[in-house]
Structure 1
Amino acid sequence: MILCCGESLIDLVPDGDRYHARPGGGAFNTAVALGRLGAAAGYLWPLSTDSFGATLRGVLDEAGVDTRLCPQTDRPTALAVVTLRGGEASYGFYEDGTAARVLDRDHLPELPAQMRALVIGGISLIDPGTGAAIEELARRAYHTGRMVMLDPNIRPALIADPDMLRDRMSRLLRLAHIVKLSSDDLEWLMPGATPAEAAQRVIRKGASLMCHTHGASGATAYRWKTSVHAKAQTAQVADTIGAGDTFNAGFLAGLAEAGVLTVEGLRQAATPVLQAALALGTRAAAVTVSRPGADPPWRDELGLP
């Protein structure tokens, strides 16, 4: 099982002078995408008992995602108001006093015995409380030999204490086996560094692999002094919401299908395996950007058996 830990919320997506409420959140989107692609997926994050929380749980259940680790809370579901400019999304978040502030490092569940990988990242790392909880979860996964994937998904406008977050990212980079960075993430974390330079810094900290997603130019996986590239799939872009999250799911699903979803398996993965996993990630992401909101594809939509 691939366990995803991080925020779930409701995206309010504009359509003319109206807004549509759509399920979202980085780790939530990845969990849903994994489930729809047929991978064994679990999700850990508090879910509200309100109607939006029921909607989120319903989407997870429909995709076959295991939600047994999700605590229930009477706090309302967090919201994100989306602004679209040329299909590119920016966000205003409303999280204080919501379910997004419930996760506590002192009350984390035991890692499931069947868990093979942990996916973390997103705005849930910014808050001191939830960020500390996720960091502790990553530490436990790392020290019990599970694969850890980190997707920082940096939102500079939300970061009140950049030094605190940089320190957290520095610690997490030492716990991650796969690090996925967009061009925006690279610019915030390592200003002025090329993707190849950034990859070598990440790998020297301990990661086996860094994935760089660069929109219409596709995605590149870097290892020590080698790289593999996959082209982006052509798509009519509705918006970019959930594209990176879906890529993460496709890449991990590809590794799982190749039988290399372990720390040692990743280190020894052959180039064709990484190429196929990257290609699945970009194919899945292309479907997501072609329709409004974070709506990852199902396995049969990609022509997969």
Structure 2
Amino acid sequence: MPDSPALLVIGECVADIVRLPGEPDRVHPGGSPANVAYGLARLGRATTLVTQLGPDSEGRLIERHLASAGVRVLTDGSGAPTPAATLDLDDAGRAAYTFDITWTLRPPQQSLEPPQHVHTGSVATALEPGADTVVDLLRSLGAAATVSYDPNVRPALMGDHAVAVRRAERCVALSDIVKASDEDLRWLYPGEAPERAAGRWLRSGPAVVLVTRGAEGALALLPGATLSIGGPGVRVADTVGAGDAFMSGTLHALASYGLLGERGRAGLRSLDTAVLGDVLRHAVASAAVTVERAGALPPDEAELAAALTDAPVPEG
């Protein structure tokens, strides 16, 4: 395995309040970028998270959770309350969200070592004024680091639709790797097939665009090639954090191939379908482990290795 790159994740932590019919509320550490950081650390990757955490019980819960996997947490010291999201789950485990989130991120107070890869997305890139801080960090770090982005659209927080689209496209243009769900793309571009929208994103700059399709698996788009992979047949506890586990599985696999960081960018830009297929298998297997248990609990290295034995084979 090539030397493990230093991975930086920028984005929100959220206290997820999970509600199931007839059951008491459960509070889980969450937030899409925080979930990705946690997933990467559980897979043995040196990971730092730049975020906001409040001086409250939810903030302490999340910080302990991240530390348990080895995530280094850097905050801006703003003292803003820890964001919260209420997740109402239906009988199939699908989540509907309501939010209580303020995002005013400033550059972290602690020193920030130059990373080899930066990941961001979700509320962090959509909600002002913190979104501008995130984009400034991407621009300053992106020359020497590869960048990944997941819009993880939350319609209730996106504000004006045209503005939201411009913000998403701004991040896509700064990224080497983009992942979005088909639902994200349908919200951003109503009436347009997700595959068509993803193809347009690919032409704007990224090396690869990934589209998740829930239980149906995922697509990966390269210049001149498209791969698809089915979803493994698993019993779903809930879908919380599935897309984030897909993202951490993707980055873990790319890192294993030495395709992150400035030295990996040329290889990423000439990615072949055999390597991409293996990356997709890691991503889908990581998500499959997560949906089989409650909350955003991605696999560790041993669990991912076991899940790969049953992962479907991509088709091109």
Fold shared, TM-score > 0.5 on shorter chain: yes
* Selected match of 1:3 from 2, 5, 8: 8
Aligned to 1:281, what secondary structure does the other structure show?
helix
Q: Is the 8 A contact 1:125 1:165 kept in 2?
A: no
Aligned to 2:290, what secondary structure does the other structure show?
helix
Residues 86-137 of structure 1, C-alpha deviation per residue, up to 9 Å, x if partnerless?
A: 21111111124xxxx34126x6776522x11111111222221011111111
Distance in structure 2 (CA, Å) of the matches to 1:220 and 1:2: 24
Match of 1:199 in 2: 198
- Structure 1 segment 51-90 matched on structure 2, within 5 A: 51-67=57-73, 69-85=74-90, 86-90=92-96
The Cα of 1:73 is off from its aligned counterpart by 4.5
Match of 2:146 in 1: 147
* Selected match of 2:37 from 13, 22, 31: 31
The Cα of 1:32 is off from its aligned counterpart by 0.4
Distance in structure 1 (CA, Å) of the matches to 2:293 and 2:24: 17
Aligned to 2:72, what secondary structure does the other structure show?
coil
Q: Is the 8 A contact 2:127 2:157 kept in 1?
A: no
Q: TM-score, normalised by structure 2?
A: 0.88
Aligned to 2:129, what secondary structure does the other structure show?
helix
Q: Work out the percentage of aligned pairs sharing the same amino acid.
A: 36
Match of 2:56 in 1: 50
Q: Counterpart amino acid of 2:196?
A: E
Distance in structure 2 (CA, Å) of the matches to 1:135 and 1:108: 18
The Cα of 1:158 is off from its aligned counterpart by 2.3
- In the alignment, does 2:125 pair up with 1:125? yes
The Cα of 1:268 is off from its aligned counterpart by 2.0
Q: Counterpart amino acid of 1:257?
A: S
Distance in structure 1 (CA, Å) of the matches to 2:161 and 2:186: 14
Q: Counterpart amino acid of 1:128?
A: E
Q: Is the 8 A contact 1:145 1:263 kept in 2?
A: no
Distance in structure 2 (CA, Å) of the matches to 1:38 and 1:277: 17
Q: Counterpart amino acid of 1:66?
A: R
Aligned to 1:128, what secondary structure does the other structure show?
coil
Give the length in aligned residue pairs. 297
- Structure 1 segment 172-183 matched on structure 2, within 5 A: 172-183=171-182
RMSD: 1.9
The Cα of 1:161 is off from its aligned counterpart by 2.1
Q: Is the 8 A contact 2:76 2:109 kept in 1?
A: no
- Structure 1 segment 1-305 matched on structure 2, within 5 A: 1-15=6-20, 16-67=22-73, 69-85=74-90, 86-96=92-102, 101-104=103-106, 111-113=112-114, 115-142=115-142, 144-261=143-260, 262-303=264-305
Residues 143-177 of structure 1, C-alpha deviation per residue, up to 9 Å, x if partnerless?
A: x2311111001111222222222221222121111
Q: Is the 8 A contact 2:75 2:110 kept in 1?
A: no
Distance in structure 2 (CA, Å) of the matches to 1:229 and 1:88: 23
Distance in structure 2 (CA, Å) of the matches to 1:161 and 1:108: 32
Cα distance change of structure 1 residues 109 and 147 upon mapping to structure 2, 3 Å threshold: farther
Q: Counterpart amino acid of 2:128?
A: P
Q: Counterpart amino acid of 1:90?
A: A
When structure 1 is superposed on structure 2, of 131-140 and 154-163 the one drifting more is 154-163
The Cα of 1:283 is off from its aligned counterpart by 0.6
Match of 2:314 in 1: none
Q: Is the 8 A contact 1:29 1:242 kept in 2?
A: yes
Aligned to 1:212, what secondary structure does the other structure show?
strand
Distance in structure 1 (CA, Å) of the matches to 2:112 and 2:192: 36
Distance in structure 1 (CA, Å) of the matches to 2:110 and 2:119: 16
Q: Is the 8 A contact 1:103 1:129 kept in 2?
A: yes
Residues 64-91 of structure 1, C-alpha deviation per residue, up to 9 Å, x if partnerless?
A: 1122x32345332111111112211111
Q: Counterpart amino acid of 2:299?
A: P
List runs of 5+ in structure 1 lacking aligned partners. Answer: none
Distance in structure 1 (CA, Å) of the matches to 2:169 and 2:19: 36
Cα distance change of structure 1 residues 108 and 189 upon mapping to structure 2, 3 Å threshold: farther
Residues 15-56 of structure 1, C-alpha deviation per residue, up to 9 Å, x if partnerless?
A: 423100100000000000011111221111022222221211
Match of 2:313 in 1: none
Distance in structure 2 (CA, Å) of the matches to 1:298 and 1:72: 30
Q: TM-score, normalised by structure 1?
A: 0.91
Q: Counterpart amino acid of 1:21?
A: V
